[in-house]
Structure 1
Amino acid sequence: MRTNKRTVWFLTLLSLVAVISIYYVKEKGSMPFDGIAIFSDEAPNTTLIGKTDDKAKTQPVFADAYLFEDMRMEVSNERSQLKEQLTTKVSSADYTAEEKDAAYEEMAKLTKLDSTEALMEMQIMALGYPDAFVRAENGAVSVTVLSSEGHSKAQADEISHYVMTTWEEARDVQVEFKGDMAK
């Protein structure tokens, strides 16, 4: 099946708009910005609540959501390098028409995979999770979910069943939870 570039760009932009709109809908509340308070000479009234000597409750420097962004950037970099190699192969005169066609089809598969993963992330977040990361390789789908409310086997089964029923290429689904495990 051949798709034209305009359709691929449209689907990519549509998925981006959906992700951004879900983010703003799920946002807890806006943070007020007071530029005067930032640059004032007065020290703000701060109080320290809790024990500072408890080393068992150390928190990571960055939140798990940033970890998801790092994982997305890593996958994006890998795939953009692969797409760049395929693009040079398509534009080179050293390859046959069949090899160029195969490279073009591989580029289309990568674009479809990116779109499918982004759509699956949005659908998992619509189930009530703050963030999700989906990565597929050779039929195996790895789903990492940010859950501040804990997790259970039933939730993992629900996610894996949902992925397998909505994504035809998903044959093996692994679900991992990140974040505070309260349950």
Structure 2
Amino acid sequence: MRTNKRTVWFLTLMSLVAVISIYYIKEKAPMPFDGVKIFSSDMTETAEKPKKGSSDKQTPVFATSYVFEEMRMAVRDERSKIQGQLDAKMTSPDSTAEEKNEAFNEMAELTKRDSAEALLELQIKALGYPEAFVRTENGDVQVTVLSTEGHSAKLADEITQYVLASWDHAKRVQVDFTGNQ
């Protein structure tokens, strides 16, 4: 296969840009284990040193964030299975036009729910919470929030009112707090 030199250079530069952009994205949200530190010449740099004057109590923000990611992955897996079933129904030659239309409408509703949940998560994070997870089902909205301030009826009421005002299809809102208390 003959390729043009410009094409090869273009692909090389694009892959380099992709790698560098991923590196900078990861650098802004560092993980507790950084693979680059393995290759450092001084092994004492890899151990975390406590700051002077800091308390012994540490907050596991990364561990709790993993829980939120696991919850998102579980919902994403469940919905991708439903999406696959609806896709199969739409492409099946045995399905009637009404069944295909119904499957298409359900797929559109799934997409709408996903985007509404993501938007609510971003809005709740904008209220000042470090992390939030929103799941909607049949008008019920379940919100899980990472809070270092602890549990409070006032905070739960604030989030509930915000969700009810932001999303028209919300009938009942449940707010759970996780994190340090």
Give the TM-score taking structure 2 as reference length. 0.71
Is 1:141 matched up with 2:138?
no
Deviations 1:62-119 (A, max 9, x none): 6111000000000000001100100110011111100100000000000000000000
Question: Matches of residues 72-83 of structure 1 in structure 2 within 5 Å?
Answer: 72-83=72-83
In the other structure, the counterpart of 1:119 is 119
**Which protein is bigger by CA-based radius of gyration?**
2
Unaligned runs of 5+ in 1: 1-23, 50-56
In the other structure, the counterpart of 2:102 is 102
Deviations 1:7-39 (A, max 9, x none): xxxxxxxxxxxxxxxxx8xx68999x895x643
% same residue: 53
- Cα displacement (A) at 1:149: 2.3
Q: Helix, strand or coil: the match of 2:177?
A: strand
C-alpha change, 1:165 and 1:58, in structure 2 (3 Å) is closer
Root mean square deviation, CA, Å: 3.1
Give the TM-score taking structure 1 as reference length. 0.70
Question: Matches of residues 1-183 of structure 1 in structure 2 within 5 Å?
Answer: 38-40=38-40, 42-44=42-44, 63-181=63-181
Unaligned runs of 5+ in 2: 1-24, 51-56
- Cα displacement (A) at 1:148: 1.6
In structure 2, what is the Cα distance between the partners aligned to 1:38 and 1:171? 51
Deviations 1:126-171 (A, max 9, x none): 0000000000111110000001222311000000010011101100
Q: Helix, strand or coil: the match of 2:44?
A: coil
Contact 2:147 2:178 in 1 (8 A): yes
Deviations 1:31-52 (A, max 9, x none): 9x895x6435544176987xxx
C-alpha change, 1:166 and 1:131, in structure 2 (3 Å) is same
Q: Which moved more, 1:99-108 or 1:145-154?
A: 145-154
